[in-house]
Amino acid sequence: MNINNVKSGLRVRTGDLEPTKGLLATNKEQRREGAIGTVLKTVHATGPPFWWWVEHDDDSIAPYTIHELEPLEDQSPRLKPLGSPKVKVDSKIP
């Protein structure tokens, strides 16, 4: 995927995972292939390669490179069930 096409709110599926050598971020154990989620924002102080936080549809968060992300055809936002807690995005990202 082109780096210019990645932005907050983009719905993606994760592809083949690359090594995380040199990535100083938490939640690396949450990374998985084939997960569907929403791009939140870039991981601070990275690059290249650049890493992006992705919130999976099960509410876990993990970092991915642009080479590991594929945009979904359906870009409809994920709707959370009524009554789910309101959490600021930044509070979930380490």
Residues 22-79 have pLDDT tens digits of: 777 778 889 999 999 999 988 765 566 678 899 999 999 999 988 899 999 887 777 6
69's CB contacts (< 8 A; 6+ apart) are 1, 6, 12, 13, 14, 15, 39, 52, 54
Residues in the chain: 94
Ordered by where they begin, the domains of the chain are 3-19+27-75 (2.30.30.530)
pLDDT for 45: 55
Single pTM value for the model: 0.74
